[in-house]
Amino acid sequence: METSKKEKLSKRVAVYMSNDFDVQQDIYKQIKKMYKKRCAFVHEGKNELITMDELWYLRNIANKVIIQFMQTNKTKKDFCTELVEKVKSVDCWKE
């Protein structure tokens, strides 16, 4: 069950970006790892943990998500509802 913001974001981005299970798992792990680093930066000032490659990865993901969302012509509510249902359809998430 999704409980934390980190879990929700990681799973939703993963299923939105790919229909392939292995790719979803990779994206899930990467986003989860980077969200943890983001929290360390925001709450503790630990910016040395974030690499340029990770910043570029996040920028690329954010661009793709925004462009794909804009092309759907769906309301935010419908989009989010479909995304939550898609997350539920994935049998398991590997840590």
pLDDT value of position 27: 93
The two structure tokens encoding residue 44: 């503790």
pLDDT digits (tens, 9 = 90+) for 25-59: 999 999 999 899 888 888 888 777 788 898 899 99
pLDDT digits (tens, 9 = 90+) for 50-69: 888 988 999 999 999 899 88
**From CA 37, how far away is CA 46, in angstroms rounded?**
8
